[in-house]
Amino acid sequence: MSTLLATLDGVDFASLEDAYGAAIDVPARLRRIAFGEEDDARSALFDLGAGIFHQGGYYPSAAPCVPFLIEITHGRGSTMTVGRNDA
């Protein structure tokens, strides 16, 4: 069984804000980034970024995401590439 994101449920994202209100979708997006197929993971990463960093400002839900994003990059390896010019 994977230990990737094992502590994710310990963060009360519902009490934190993103650009669209309570950050209740953040855990699902992080899981999609970690475990989803590449296209789904990429979409989730875009959605997460739009919520935690919006119009030049970071939202309170951004900082708790960082350790999980680091964990995901180590857990997934370098199998996914993300960039503005990805087709």
E strands within the chain? 17-18, 21-22, 53-54, 57-58
Q: Which residues, in sequence order, are bridge partners of residue 22?
A: 17
Model's pTM, two decimal places?
0.85
- Whether the CB-CB separation of 16 and 60 falls below 8 Å is answered with yes
Judged by phi (left if over 0) then psi (alpha if -120 to 50, else beta), residue 65 lies in alpha
**Residue 22, SS3?**
strand
- Whether the CB-CB separation of 52 and 20 falls below 8 Å is answered with no
Task: Look at residue 23 in the predicted model and tell me its pLDDT.
Answer: 97
In the predicted structure, residue 86 carries a pLDDT above the cut 90? no
Digit-coded pLDDT (tens) for 11-57: 999 999 999 999 999 999 999 999 999 899 999 999 999 999 999 99
